[in-house]
């Protein structure tokens, strides 16, 4: 774990998470692209929010039209919805007062963290494996 | 589910960012509307006035009248000195000058962000340049958050109104790509 990640964890009390959007039967929702790739619908957020956090910025893969996403909404735990068919490293930055805390992490790691208690679900496990394989 | 239901259009993404930057601009510019800035301006004006009066000439008139006037002047000057000393202590104790300078700097910096926002929207695809302005506004927000007033529904609605004007003015320059899914 890098120093910046330690700082992030220390001040925010936990890692950022990612969760698939699930349909009523608990299966991850996806959009199928023309080439057949499954683009899963994913919500990024912070697990525990301390009041001092004002903005969270998610810096995504540069292939997104808008790779810089921001959330200023503590009520939703600074949630931001994205789609993805594969794994990549993203930067998460949280503005805490005058400081900027940053974490660089793989999307699949965030998904595993967000679905920690549901990794036995075949749909979720398969979706994570699909993402990790691309 | 189709791509259109999960992916916001480029126009929507631009609009969201413009409103977000304008909220910060409105708050940044409003930083200077605090009592510390008013106090600071009066203090500076008063200091300049005192300096000018100190440099003025002698009192004219008959000597007896002048003596009486001088006695009065000493009393008034003493009282004024006490009041000024008290005010100066308050000024120092509450870091009024520092706060005011910070607030005025925030106002000027965010005015520049407002100009850069307008310029960024004149590109054929404004998003890359707009993201630079977004980062700039976030850096200023971190630097000046102590002197910036909080946001709220009034600020948001004002930002939306200003944003609509700005987008209506500049959208004629745009040639945006179709909405895509990204990685």
- Inspect the interface and report whether the beta carbons of B183 and A33 lie closer than 8 Å: no
Full-model pTM:
0.80
The per-residue pLDDT for A9 is 64
- pLDDT of A11 strictly over 90: no
Q: Mean per-residue pLDDT for A17-46?
A: 92
Question: pLDDT-derived band of residue B47, with 50, 70 and 90 as boundaries?
Answer: confident
Residues of chain B with a CB closer than 8 angstroms to some CB in chain A: 1-3, 5-7, 10, 13, 17, 20, 127, 131, 134-135, 138, 141-143, 145-146, 177, 179-183
Q: How many CB pairs below 8 A link A and B?
A: 74
| Cα dist from A26 to A42, A116, A122, A123, B1, whole Å | 14, 15, 10, 8, 16
* CB B25, CB B137: distance < 8 Å: yes
Q: Is A72 helix (H, G, I), strand (E, B) or coil?
A: coil
Q: Is A105 helix (H, G, I), strand (E, B) or coil?
A: strand
Paired strand residues for A58: A69, A92
Phi, psi of A39, deg, nearest 5:
-95, 105
| Angle (deg, nearest 10), helices B35-54 and B96-120 | 120
* CB A83, CB A95: distance < 8 Å: no
Q: Mean per-residue pLDDT for B83-110?
A: 86
Residue whose C-alpha is closest to residue B141's, from A95, A108, A14, A24: A95
- Inspect the interface and report whether the beta carbons of B3 and A30 lie closer than 8 Å: no
| Angle (deg, nearest 10), helices B10-30 and B153-170 | 130
| Cα dist from B77 to B59, B67, B71, B177, whole Å | 15, 15, 10, 72
Question: pLDDT-derived band of residue A110, with 50, 70 and 90 as boundaries?
Answer: very high
Q: Mean per-residue pLDDT for B46-73?
A: 68
* CB B24, CB B141: distance < 8 Å: yes
Integer Cα distance of A126 and A21 in angstroms: 14
Q: Mean per-residue pLDDT for A107-113?
A: 95
What tokens does A99 get? 């400081």
């Amino acid at each position: 774990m890098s120093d910046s990640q330690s700082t992030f964890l220390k001040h925010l009390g936990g890692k950022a998470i990612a969760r698939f959007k699930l349909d009523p039967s608990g299966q991850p929702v996806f959009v199928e692209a023309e080439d057949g790739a499954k683009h899963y619908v994913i919500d990024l957020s912070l697990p525990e929010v301390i009041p001092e956090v004002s903005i969270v910025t998610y810096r995504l893969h540069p292939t997104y039209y808008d790779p810089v996403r921001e959330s200023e909404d503590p009520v939703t735990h600074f949630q931001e919805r994205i789609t993805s068919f594969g794994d990549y490293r993203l930067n998460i930055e949280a503005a805490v007062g005058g400081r900027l805390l940053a974490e660089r992490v793989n999307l699949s790691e965030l998904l595993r963290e967000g679905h920690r208690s549901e990794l036995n679900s075949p749909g979720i496990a398969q979706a994570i494996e699909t993402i990790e394989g691309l | 589910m189709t791509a259109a239901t999960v992916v916001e259009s480029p126009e929507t993404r631009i609009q969201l960012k413009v409103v977000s930057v304008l909220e910060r601009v409105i708050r940044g510019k409003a930083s200077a509307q605090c009592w510390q800035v008013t106090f600071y301006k009066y203090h500076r004006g008063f200091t300049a006035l005192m300096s000018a009066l100190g440099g003025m000439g002698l009192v004219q008139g008959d000597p007896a009248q002048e003596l009486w006037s001088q006695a009065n002047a000493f009393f008034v000057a003493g009282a004024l000195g006490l009041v000024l000393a008290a005010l100066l202590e308050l000024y120092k104790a509450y870091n009024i000058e520092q706060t005011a300078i910070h607030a005025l700097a925030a106002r000027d910096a965010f005015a520049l962000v407002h100009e850069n926002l307008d310029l960024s929207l004149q590109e054929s695809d404004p998003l890359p340049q707009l993201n630079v302005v977004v980062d700039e506004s976030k850096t200023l927000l971190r630097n000046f958050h102590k002197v910036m007033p909080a946001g709220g529904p009034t600020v948001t609605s004002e930002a939306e109104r200003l944003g609509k004007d700005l987008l209506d003015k500049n959208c004629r320059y745009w040639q945006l790509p179709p909405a895509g899914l990204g990685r």
